[in-house]
Amino acid sequence: MIDLHTHTTASDGSFSPRDLVHLAKAGGLQAMAITDHDTVAGNLEALEAAMELGFELVPGVEISADSTAGTIHIVGLFIRPDDPDMEAVLTELRVFREERNRKMVARLAELGIHLTPQELVMEAGGDLVGRPHFAALLLKKGHVKTYQEAFDVYLKSGGKAYLDKKRLPSDQAIAMIKDAGGIPILAHPFTMREKAKDGFEARLRELVDQNLQGIEVYYTDHSHADVVFYADLARRYNLLISGGTDFHGAVKPDVQLGRGRGAMNIPYEILEHMKETLS
């Protein structure tokens, strides 16, 4: 059993990179990838812990990108975490995100809700602050009754304090991952399918033309029929099969590492195919 899509405190997960590696080893996983949103900062700590434990850790990242179907997420596996060109691009995205966070704090203040940057950083437990941390803090401070209400009223697209974030065009995200030695993979493809409707396969073809190399066939929210559907697409477009739970720890308490909502069992074999492609 493996898990090739997880988040740590470096983005919006609740486990530190080191603790997540320990959890994976203890849970009997054979390998895991850390794929934090728009940052590779967790990988070095995780690689160190993996080395100590004799655990196979795949360095990764998850990039939000713009496609003709709207926002998609592209996971990059086997990236070089210290690649300077990738770091320069990720830094630019982070600077923009910090600016966005400042503006969201200001909008909330206009609505009589006062969050401080320090509180947000504390909530994030790492240096990447995102909307989930705003939601958690709004809940803690009693401004909303549920985490979801924070999104519905303030944080979702069109919400009272919502601001869009900067995203890379999909071809640039794919090129950045490839240039850093990684395999670009379409994450949770059902989200693109929902947006693109009948145009899904044409949109996927555009990504393949941009050098997309893999697709998440196994994913927490995929039914058995979904797995069959995406495995067929992978075969027809010669894409590598990937899979993961999108584990976030306490942020998504119903999703378990490696197991998703209970029955997932992602085969190690798909990782072997990736390694063959890279060698």
Q: Which residues bind ligand AMP (CB under 6 A)?
A: 37, 130-132, 151, 156, 165
* Token representation of residue 9: 């405190």
Q: How far is the CB of 36 from ligand AMP (least distance, A)?
A: 11
Tell which residue, 246, 52, 48, has the closest CA to residue 132: 246
Q: Which residues contact 36 (CB under 8 A, 6 or more apart)?
A: 7, 8, 10, 11, 13, 42, 61, 62, 128
* Token representation of residue 124: 């994030």
| Sign of the alpha-carbon dihedral angle for 92, 85, 169, 123 | negative
Q: Which is nearer to Fe ion, 108 or 185 (CB)?
A: 185
163 and 104 in contact (C-beta within 8 Å)? yes
Tell which residue, 186, 169, 1, has the closest CA to residue 76: 186
Q: Which is nearer to Fe ion, 113 or 270 (CB)?
A: 270
Site for Fe ion in 180-209 (CB under 5 A): 187
Q: How far apart are CA 143 and CA 165, in angstroms?
A: 24
Number of residues interacting with Zn ion: please give it, by CB under 5 A.
Answer: 2
Q: Which is nearer to ligand AMP, 188 or 193 (CB)?
A: 188
Choose the one of Zn ion, ligand AMP, Fe ion, none that binds residue 246, judging by a C-beta under 5 to 8 angstroms depending on kind.
Fe ion
Q: Which is nearer to ligand AMP, 156 or 178 (CB)?
A: 156
For residue 246, state whether it binds Fe ion (rule: CB under 5 A).
yes
Site string for Zn ion, 2-21 (x = CB under 5 A): -----x----x---------
Q: At what angle do helices 189-196 and 200-209 cross, to 10 degrees?
A: 120
Q: How far is the CB of 36 from Zn ion (least distance, A)?
A: 8
Question: Which residue has the CB atom at the shortest distance from ligand AMP?
Answer: 130
Q: CB neighbours (10 Å) of residue 29?
A: 21
Choose the one of Fe ion, ligand AMP, Zn ion, none that binds residue 151, judging by a C-beta under 5 to 8 angstroms depending on kind.
ligand AMP
**Positions that interact with Zn ion (CB under 5 A):** 7, 12
**Positions that interact with Fe ion (CB under 5 A):** 62, 73, 187, 246
